[in-house]
Chains A and B, each alone.
Chain A
């Protein structure tokens, strides 16, 4: 079952394929393109410690049909493993943990291929990673030896492979994503309510013409016609009226509420309902749609970024630069072209839709011609440009992580300052002490509370005397590096979501560390 499904409409009477049936609930989230990316991926898990969190992560990737996975693990299954890892059974005792987990994980999905590598003196992490570019993404768990960490980093840089490190112990966990270089996302899946862009303040000629055609004689329209004017036509009509009177468009909150009253007053009330639904819709849409679209900070960040020579050759940056030119010329982004549902007659609504679609296609054509003029733009697919233009207001760039030992000191300080004001600001306490305490046990999971504090003191000298740091280090020491299944299952769920987001290049991954506190049931994402 590896065929690519390209046609979203299955032949009538045959219904969906077996694969579409099995994956129906997830295809509704990431579509066939996302599924294909998952099926092309190969995940490597470097497993260690009590060993559950990485395996729980893999479970959540095997089920939706990741192509392949490999577990490298030196562990031999012990009694303690059976108390925390669901993908082992009584028969596993004394055998390679990598092998046993792969076998029981593989049962979950016959479409997925699993491999195991029992680490030992003759098969080290260094050997596993040597010159072999077959992995799409690497997950490693703590504790890990420092030398092995270096090999992972080297592989990540050399093959441009994302890495996620995961640490789960007792009631706490964190995971950190390392993206090789910058990571741009087009298909960010914004909330549908956020995507409405009707350009009511800057209508183009065809839209204005259509609107005045419908409302030119608004007072003499029949009750049916008046009650079915689409709300965006109503708003355009009253904007014209407002402009004639005020010589400007409503811009302040006060003006907008006054404008809203003007719209509401336009409804006919001499009917059994005592009002008109479409005018209600129009009034409700005033504050949301009567405002000049501003460039979001994430789009600004994309426009301001100067890609390096290699990056500049990628389709994303070629299209981004064309869209930027478009924006500089027109002072607005390409039109996304979709029209939300509104009370209207079918034919009128469809005409309205087509006016927006036509404009969107014109904008795409303009961006496409800029792209084509670019030396590297000959082969850029039109659908890629289309999808970029449609999502232009929501594109996102996540910067790759670079090691900067100073930044953690700055962060620790600013988080401590926030905590000092937490009671006043009603903000929850920072979870950074959890990260630092767990991180202090990266290579030695049974460290004592004072060992942990001594390590943290190197970046935050006040740690040993700050009650919160002391308590959290004690809680970390209490677990002795042992995982609790619930915390690892929860963390494995979050890590799997991140892997899916990175591999499908859909939705927005974390930047770059997520810390979980299983005592207060909260997460915090920090760039560390």
Chain B
């Protein structure tokens, strides 16, 4: 099949009727290449048609999601689902190209699905305007693979643990490859995960360490940076003054209130640099995002999805499974194999070691779990041999709340295994093995001894 050469009108191309719509895809789908795996690749009509029967789930219809939907539709996938609970904001329009000014306030999933269906003939896109946590196992079981374009680590961990949990060794179809993309400014990464077989999101968690929180005493007494003044307004002044019943990060009036408070505090301490834009950035934890980086990362994810679905060339996954991209200084990519961790709390067989000071109270320990790069658990419930603390139901929370003030060393012993659950991260138990970092002498025991004397 020859291609039209459209350099200038003097070179005639074949008539439009002769060229088929998917001829460029067919170049690689119907012809073996030097790198294709002969055991996997099949150029038969039935094999080529396979892609049309696959159901693909796209999580997120934002910057990456819009690109992913477009790319999948033009890669030959015909049955696509998209899930997103968000509505369209004006600040999305600089990159989420399936949305227009008149769409502001509407469901992202619905708008995106409608647009791509209309543009690309024959593709079906089913929108789900809800949270991923609203869907059950049966829902996720219907898909061949899942692609994530998310901005939250929590949602990634939820779908990761759910897909790991879904794997049933007796049923080959229960293994759903998970492809994940993420961007920040000119940088991003894409990765391919075979749940239970290769390194999962939880194995890689420490690659995305949360920003260190500023100690409250700095905010309260010794602010030095404009961010400290903004956090003070956000956390302390707002709670104290409650200017509106509930803080809405998207309400300019609320942000303006915080901005003015932060500015006044900054002036008091001679700290320059508080602006409206910075206030908004700190309060909403805004990550800079541009169309071009989303295009790169989304297309990388879809390229891997296409190769997995068609075997037209080897894909990331079993060996190299992670691509880092940076466009800040020239262009740099690093593609490597992230090793699966035996002590991964989600997909490993061993409990992950967790250093802990036994003199901390359970409450302090729980607070520290949120910030630790290897844990990042915000609302954990904790179980050892018995339940130490449950966030819900309320009756259990009340029953276990007294433990919060007890010292870790009084509740568990060095080397004990604990199970941590956090419903926002899925149904699995995160398994940790506690290693005490200092000696522990129980005050209770001292008292007991004292009593005995």
Contacts and interface: CB of A to CB of B under 8 A. Distances in A.
Given A25-B91, A346-B269, A475-B34, A79 B19 contact: yes
Contacts of A94: 16
Contact of B291 (A64, A107, A125): A64
B363 interface: no
Contacts of A121: 8-10
B71 A489 contact: yes
Given A346-B222, A496-B292, A525-B331, A83 B23 contact: yes
A170 B316 contact: no
A22 B330 contact: no
Nearest to B97: A108
A101 interface: no
A188 B9 CA distance: 43
Given A50-B24, A119-B8, A478 B31 contact: yes
Contacts of A12: 256, 259-260
Given A78-B4, A508-B328, A478 B19 contact: no
Contacts of A519: 35, 307, 313-314
A28 interface: yes
A248 to B, nearest CB: 33
B223 interface: yes
B300 interface: yes
A496 B291 contact: yes
Interface in A469-498: 470-472, 474-475, 478-487, 489-490, 492-494, 496-498
A319 to B, nearest CB: 22
B94 A507 contact: no
Interface in B70-95: 70-71, 73-75, 90-91, 93-95
A148 B7 contact: yes
Interface in A5-50: 8-10, 12-13, 15-16, 18, 20-29, 47-50
A67 interface: no
Nearest to A467: B34
B276 interface: yes
A89 interface: yes
A497 B293 contact: yes
Interface stretch (B235-243, B281-289, B398-406, B439-447): B281-289
A144 B335 contact: no
Contacts of B281: 28
Contacts of A484: 24-25, 28, 75, 303, 306
B270 A350 contact: yes
B300 A189 contact: no
B33 to A, nearest CB: 5
A25 B7 contact: no
A433 B299 CA distance: 23
Contacts of A29: 185-186, 288, 290
A65 B94 contact: yes
A63 B293 CA distance: 12
Given A350-B224, A471-B35, A485 B75 contact: yes
A83 B25 contact: yes
Contacts of B327: 494, 497, 501, 507
B254 to A, nearest CB: 11
Interface string A147-167: 010000000000000000000
Contacts of B9: 74, 119-121
Contacts of B271: 346, 350
A401 B171 CA distance: 57
Contacts of B328: 189, 191, 507-508
B330 A508 contact: yes
B333 interface: yes
A82 B20 CA distance: 10
Nearest to B288: A28
Interface string A72-113: 011111111011101001100110010000000001111000
A264 interface: no
Contacts of A480: 1-3, 27
B97 A63 contact: yes
Contact of A170 (B2, B28, B95): B28
A171 B296 CA distance: 14
B275 A8 contact: yes
B16 A25 contact: no
B38 interface: no
B295 interface: yes
Nearest to A473: B34
Contacts of A125: 8
Contacts of A143: 5, 7
B452 interface: no
Given A484-B28, A486-B306, A74 B3 contact: no
Nearest to B228: A341
Given A64-B290, A124-B8, A446 B3 contact: yes
B119 interface: yes
Contacts of B93: 22, 63, 109
B180 interface: no
Given A341-B225, A347-B269, 5 more contacts: A56-B295, A78-B19, A110-B101, A508-B328, A509-B330
20 contacts: A15-B276, A16-B276, A63-B291, A64-B290, A78-B13, A80-B3, A170-B28, A228-B222, A350-B269, A445-B5, A480-B1, A484-B25, A486-B306, A487-B299, A493-B296, A494-B296, A496-B292, A497-B293, A521-B320, A523-B332
